[in-house]
Amino acid sequence: MTVVERIFVAEHDVTTFATIEDLQSLWRTLKFDERDRAEALLDVVSNSLRHEAQRVGKDLDEMIADSPVFASVVKSVTVDVVARTLMTSTDQEPMTQFNESALGYSVSGSFLVPGGGLFIKDSELKRLGLKKQRFGARDIYGID
């Protein structure tokens, strides 16, 4: 079995944190052309959240097994990220702010996600306990 085949098989053995039915009940009914994209995004978002958890030394699957309440929060975050990505236009870059002028003609705008693609907000990582405020102190004088 080649490396690519192993990755492909392993990818499909991992469960997603939400289903198409969860997405439709928590957000809205999907259009016919959104269904395939949503299925792919559920897989990608679930693995992205697992990766973010691994970066801080946590195992999301283990945390979900320990707490059904936490499982619901993870499902909610997954649906939020997928819904936001589905709302993002695929034919042009989405802008959060756009200005136009006349006569001298000037156009400016701010992109939602420069370069496009999937993004997970800090507030969503905080809901999962994966991003917390850090604090610490250093003794600069060498006195304990």
- Please give the torsion angle defined by the CA atoms of residues 20, 24, 27 and 29, in that order, rounded to the nearest 10 degrees: 130
Identify the sign of the CA torsion 70, 76, 78, 84.
negative
> Helices 35-55 and 68-87 meet at what angle, rounded to 10?
130
The predicted-structure confidence for 80-105, as pLDDT tens digits, reads as follows 999 988 887 666 666 667 778 888 88
* Residue keyed to tokens 């939020």: 80
* Residue keyed to tokens 């490396």: 3
| pLDDT at res. 80 | 95
The domain in which residue 9 lies consists of 3-127
Contact assessment for residue 71 and residue 64, using Cβ atoms and an 8 Å cutoff: yes
16, part of any domain: yes
Answer yes or no: is pLDDT of 141 > 70. Answer: yes
The predicted-structure confidence for 42-84, as pLDDT tens digits, reads as follows 999 999 999 999 999 999 999 999 999 999 999 999 999 999 8
141, part of any domain: no
This model's pTM is above 0.85: no
How many domains does the chain fold into?
1
143, part of any domain: no
114, part of any domain: yes
What does the alpha-carbon distance between residue 75 and residue 64 come to, in Å, rounded to a whole number?
10
Token pair listed for 111: 């992109």
